Chain A
Amino acid sequence: MAHILIIDDDEDFILATEAILKAAGHSVASANDSKEGLEKVKSEDPDLIILDIMMDSIYEGFSVTTTLRGTPEYMDYRDIPVLMVSAVKKITGERFDIPEQAQIAASDAFLDKPFSAEELNSKVNQLLAS
């Protein structure tokens, strides 16, 4: 069983996701924005991060992966798999859809909000196994 960090500005999403993950036997920590999220990456050293893309700004989630994957400070954490989630898949006028952008931003997987417990568990297991 794994330790999972959820970074999301929506408390209800955290509550729901946490319940599903705990039912599957995982332990969960959470953060409400990218800054707190990056701090918790260090203090919690999770096995997996579930990261909301749209928080205060449209692409706030991407700043987490940029820091995580690209700065020396996070060298020890750069290989933690990241599952990005978003309630929005398209933004008018943008060249790439959100799931494509998530790929570009080095996520390891993407889930549409809302997701079923089954979808979540299968993605989480897949990422933890790899």
Chain B
Amino acid sequence: MVLRTKPRVLVIDDDEVARESAEVLLTRWGYEVTLAVSGEQGLESIKADPPDLVLVDLAMPGISGQEVLAAVQEYDPAIICIMVTGHATLQAAIDAMKNGAYDFLPKPFSPDELRRAVVRGFEHRFLELETKELREEKARMEANFVTMVTHQMRSPLSAVRQLMEVVINQSLGPMEEAYREIIERAVVRLDDLLGTINAWLAMSRIAESGVAERREPVTLASIIDTLAQRTKLDTDTAGQSLVVEDFDRDQLVKVDSESLLEALYNITSNAVKYNRPGGEVRITCRTSPGWLDLAISDQGPGIPEAEQDYIFDDFFRSKSPELKKKPGTGLGLSIARRVVRAHGGEIQVKSQPAEGTTFVISIPTS
């Protein structure tokens, strides 16, 4: 609850008598009262030190009560506005209520009438703030739900995998050869499952955290060098080669390095995974004013044309017998696209059967 110990009321009225009598009454009832003699002064006071409730005269010279109401609505709609006027017309009342006023108090009003209006206004504000907090709490829970569930699954799975390691390592003595294949298959499935859970976590993190807000200028070299380093380990292991074409190393790009690298690595590791034996993975960067185009190519069998529209969908796996047998979560490319889009960019695929596949990532540099 953001309310302070003493609830605060701002009284905006050009009539001195009205102002002061409101101050006396509200102070007596335990409110902290600030006074403003005009709409201008009132708005300044709201911005300098926002009150919980505003009691504002509708008809004032300069900025009118209606305008104050509109400004408060824009500034913080949770601040309660009660409109006061000497010339209570039905139309003025309707207009004020339509514009978000909480209540309408015709002059002259009795202390009781004022008190009822203010108390009701505060009850409403408490309720609004409470609802808002509950709403935010629920959103937080929902946003973290996937993360929470995946962690819950990850712990026991990790423990199982660790226990299996004892068997594979034959730490407790030699394993019957007949069981070896069974155990090894079980471990492959476990590792797949752990991979899927990790990919989920990566995805939920991207959904939960503000990738766009974390963008900051880094050199293109810092991104590409890290990517090349990680990819080189994979191409070496697979007996393939990695080629990084020359690029403008000092070019600045405004990115969230961590998530972008994850996205790019998803693509290069696919390139290695689906490449032809001994094939080449090529990384090319081209910059044009305001944009970076990054191409990652392999020399694999290519992606069937009919599937190219779907490869970025969550959990999509190729139906092609050749591609299907490679392990995968079906999330790598969808994560990549989320990250690239969070950067205000787009990702495209060009693929020719038997010639290879090229992914082109285009992102704004600033």
Binding site for B on A (CB under 8 A): 10, 12-13, 15-17, 19-20, 22-23, 87-88, 90, 92-93, 113-117
Contacts and interface: CB of A to CB of B under 8 A. Distances in A.
Interface in B149-175: 151, 154-155, 158-163, 165-166, 168-172
Contact of B165 (A10, A90, A93, A114): A114
Contact of A10 (B155, B169, B172): B155
B339 to A, nearest CB: 15
B147 interface: yes
Contacts of A90: 201, 205
B209 interface: yes
B208 interface: yes
Given A92-B205, A114-B165, A20 B171 contact: yes
B144 interface: yes
Contacts of A87: 154-155, 158
Given A88-B151, A92-B208, A116 B165 contact: yes
Given A87-B154, A93-B209, A10 B159 contact: yes
B171 A12 contact: no
Contacts of A116: 165, 169
B169 A113 contact: no
A117 B155 contact: no
Contacts of B170: 23
Given A20-B171, A92-B144, A114 B158 contact: yes
A115 B165 CA distance: 8
Contacts, number: 61
A10 B201 CA distance: 22
Given A88-B151, A92-B147, A117-B171, A16 B158 contact: no
Interface in B178-216: 194, 201, 204-205, 208-209
A22 B204 CA distance: 39
A23 B170 CA distance: 8
A47 B57 CA distance: 78
A16 B171 CA distance: 9
B158 A113 contact: yes
A13 B158 CA distance: 9
A117 B151 CA distance: 23
A90 B162 CA distance: 20
Nearest to A117: B169
A116 B161 CA distance: 9
18 contacts: A12-B163, A13-B162, A16-B159, A16-B162, A16-B163, A16-B165, A19-B172, A22-B171, A23-B169, A87-B154, A87-B158, A92-B205, A92-B209, A93-B208, A113-B162, A114-B158, A114-B159, A117-B166
Contacts of A15: 163, 166
Contacts of B163: 12, 15-16
A13 B166 CA distance: 11
B145 to A, nearest CB: 12
Given A13-B159, A88-B154, A23 B172 contact: yes
A113 B160 CA distance: 11
Given A92-B147, A92-B205, A117 B161 contact: no
